[in-house]
Amino acid sequence: MPELPEVETIARGLDPALRGRRIRSVDVLDAISAPQGPKPFAKRLAGRRVLAVRRRAKLLLLDLESDLVLAVHLRMTGGVTADLDTDEVRRFARIRFNLEDGGFFVFTDIRRFGSCQAFAPEELTAWPFYASLGPEPLDMSPKLFVERLGAGSRAVKAALLDQTTLAGVGNIYADESLFRAGIRPQDKTSVLSAPRLRRLHKELQQVLTQAIRENGSSIRDYRDAGGNAGAFQNHFNVYGRAGEPCRVCGATLRGAKVGGRSTTYCPKCQPPSAV
C-alpha cells in the first residue's frame, strides 16, 4: 500500500507535470473507482485547470480552479501517472483525465480498492475520512508526538498505524522506525518513557525523509508519476525480512502480528520494555 513517502513522491512528480493544464474531459473506465457516480464526477471536473498537486496523509489532492479538489485515495495498489502510455497503464487504467493540450493523466489500480472523488473545500473537510485524520508526522513537534502517542495503553505499532493519531504512516515505515528507535512493536505506549518516544519521533521523521528522498519503496506495484520504481526497499532493516539475520547484530528476525498487521522485529536490537 502506498504510504506517506510514496504519495508524497507522486504528488511532487505530478505537480510540475500538471500545474496550469486544463482537464478537457474525463473517461471513467471502471465505475467502482468513481463512487460519486461516473457522469456527475466527469461533469464536475470537465474544464477545470489544475492549480497544484499536494498530499494529505495517504491522499493525493489536486487543487483545481473554481474551488474544487480532486481527492485520490490510492488504497492498496492505486497510482497516478502523467502522459505515460504503457501496456501496464492501459491494462489497469480506471479513470483517464484528458487534457486540453492533448496530454492526459491516468488513475490506475490493480486491485480496484482505490477511488477518485471531487469535493468543494467545505465538502472535503466534512468528509468523515478526511476529518478524522491526525496531524502529519513530519510536521509534529516532539512534544505533540509524545502527547498523542503516549496517551492510553496500546501496542506502540498500533498507535503509529492509527490514522487518527498521526496520518500517513503504514506498515513499512512503522516497522523501520521502531527498529531504528530500538523499540519492540508490541510494547505498550504506557510503559514507554518520554525520552524513548522522542527518539521514536526523531527516527520516524528521518525514515520518512529518507524514503521520500529515494522516491518511496517499490515492493510490488508502486511506481511514481513517471512510472519509475522507488529505492528505499534496498534499505529495509526489518520489514518483510522475518527469519533472516539482523543486519546490525545477526540475530534471527522474528515475525508477529500486532493489531492484525504483520510485523517484523529484532529480538536483540528491540528488547521488550519493562512493565
Whether the model clears a pTM of 0.85, i.e. scores above it, the answer is yes
Residue 143 catalytic?
no
Contact (Cβ atoms closer than 8 angstroms) between residue 232 and residue 217: yes
CA distance 100 to 76: 30
The set of cell numbers assigned to 56 is: 494529505
The set of cell numbers assigned to 220 is: 510490488
Q: Is residue 67 part of a domain?
A: yes
List 247, 254, 261, 268, catalytic entry:
261
The set of cell numbers assigned to 141 is: 513537534
Across 120-146, average pLDDT: 97
Residue 257 catalytic?
no
Q: If we measure between CA atoms, which residue out of 30, 113, 115, 29 comes closest to residue 71?
A: 115
Across 91-116, average pLDDT: 97
List 44, 58, 180, 223, catalytic entry:
58
Q: Is residue 275 part of a domain?
A: no
- pLDDT for residue 220: 65
Report the mean per-residue pLDDT for the chain: 94
CA distance 24 to 29: 16
Residue 223 catalytic?
no
Across 250-267, average pLDDT: 95
The count of structural domains within the chain is: 2
Does residue 162 sit in the same domain as residue 126?
Answer: no
Q: Is residue 137 part of a domain?
A: no
CATH at residue 193: 1.10.8.50
List 2, 5, 38, 185, catalytic entry:
2
Map residue 87 onto helix, strand or coil: helix
Does residue 119 sit in the same domain as residue 220?
Answer: no
**Residue that wins the pLDDT comparison between 168 and 230:** 168
Q: Which residue range forms the structural domain that includes residue 224?
A: 142-265
